[in-house]
Every structure is written in structure tokens, then in C-alpha cells.
């Protein structure tokens, strides 16, 4: 089925962000693993998988709407150099994807593409209620208990390697 051009422009923009989010979580999760922060590794590796699913949903929808997704426009990945910076960079990505999703949802309504809208609402729920909320909690915990205590809580039981 031929898609609406305005909707498709937003889907491409979202794909650029989801692919970057996936790679940022891949980089950060592997850094946490190397540092022995097993709990953080596990969580971020899971987020990486969810971002892959988000990108996948967008790709499938674009193909269904008879448009070839462009994989060469991915947004920049912002790799942090310490845990707080990494969590903050990830939260910045989630906030910006959340805003872009809301914009795209409004366009879908305007263009009466309700199936795409439904898919985007699912992505928004993951983005706001899961990813961003978890990151907000981690940054608040660091303020509450201090970095050393937080890091100790994230070492987990064993080395994942």
C-alpha cells in the first residue's frame, strides 16, 4: 500500500534515531561489561535489543508502505566516558526520540494513517515508560547514594564473560 509522503518522512527520521540508539546502547553495554558492571551490561544489552525491535518495526512499516528505508542517514552516536555521562547521553537520546515520536504520531493523525499511529504509540510507551524512566531513576539513585555505592550495586554477581 502506498504510504503518505509526510508520514514516510517522519518514519525515516525515526529510523535514523532508533539505529543510533541501538548502536549507542551496544557501545555502552560493552563498556559496562569490560568494566565489570554486570547489572548495567545486562540492562543496556536488553535496551539494545529493544531498539533493534523498534528499528525493525519502522523498516517493516516503510516497506509495507512501498518505500525503501535509507540506512545511510543514521544519527550520530554519543558515547560517554564515564557512567554518569553515559546514562545522561542515553537519556538525552530517549527524550529526543520521545519528542520525535509525538510529532510523528500527530502527523499520522493528520494524514489518517491510524495503523502507523498505533505502532508508534507502542514505541512511545517503551521510550517514555521503560527506557527514559529507568535512566531517570539511575541518575536519581546516583544523587541519592553517591557514585561509589551506585557502582557497587551494579557489579552484580559475576563476570559476564
Q: Which residues bind Fe ion (CB under 5 A)?
A: 18, 51, 54, 127, 131
CB of 88 closer than 8 Å to CB of 80: yes
Q: How far is the CB of 68 from Fe ion (least distance, A)?
A: 21
d(CA 92, CA 102): 16
**Measured between alpha carbons, how far is 91 from 8 in angstroms, rounded to an integer?**
26
State the minimum distance, in angstroms, from the CB of residue 150 to Fe ion: 21
- 36 versus 89: smaller Cβ distance to Fe ion: 89
Residue placing its CB nearer to Fe ion in the complex, 122 or 159: 122
φ, ψ for residue 80 (rounded to 5)?
-85, 170
Least Å distance, CB 42 to Fe ion, is: 16
DSSP string, 24-87: HHHHHHHHHHHTT-HHHHHHHHHHHHHHHHHHHHHHHHHHHTT-PPPTT-PPPP---SSHHHHH
Nearer to Fe ion, 38 or 54 (CB): 54
Q: How far is the CB of 97 from Fe ion (least distance, A)?
A: 6
Q: Which is nearer to Fe ion, 127 or 154 (CB)?
A: 127
Amino acid at each position: 500500500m502506498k504510504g503518505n509522503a509526510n508520514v514516510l518522512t517522519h518514519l525515516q527520521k525515526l529510523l535514523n534515531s532508533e539505529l543510533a540508539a541501538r548502536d549507542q546502547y551496544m557501545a555502552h553495554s560493552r563498556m559496562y561489561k569490560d568494566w565489570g558492571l554486570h547489572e548495567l551490561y545486562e540492562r543496556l544489552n536488553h535496551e539494545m535489543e529493544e531498539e533493534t525491535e523498534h528499528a525493525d518495526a519502522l523498516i517493516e512499516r516503510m516497506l509495507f508502505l512501498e518505500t525503501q528505508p535509507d540506512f545511510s542517514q543514521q544519527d550520530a552516536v554519543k558515547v560517554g566516558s564515564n557512567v554518569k555521562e553515559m546514562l545522561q547521553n542515553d537519556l538525552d537520546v530517549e527524550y529526543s526520540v520521545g519528542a520525535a515520536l509525538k510529532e510523528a504520531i500527530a502527523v499520522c493523525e493528520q494524514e489518517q494513517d491510524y495503523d502507523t499511529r498505533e505502532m508508534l504509540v507502542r514505541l512511545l510507551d517503551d521510550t517514555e515508560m521503560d527506557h527514559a524512566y529507568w535512566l531517570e531513576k539511575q541518575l536519581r539513585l546516583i544523587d541519592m547514594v553517591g557514585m561509589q555505592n551506585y557502582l557497587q550495586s551494579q557489579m552484580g554477581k559475576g563476570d559476564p564473560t
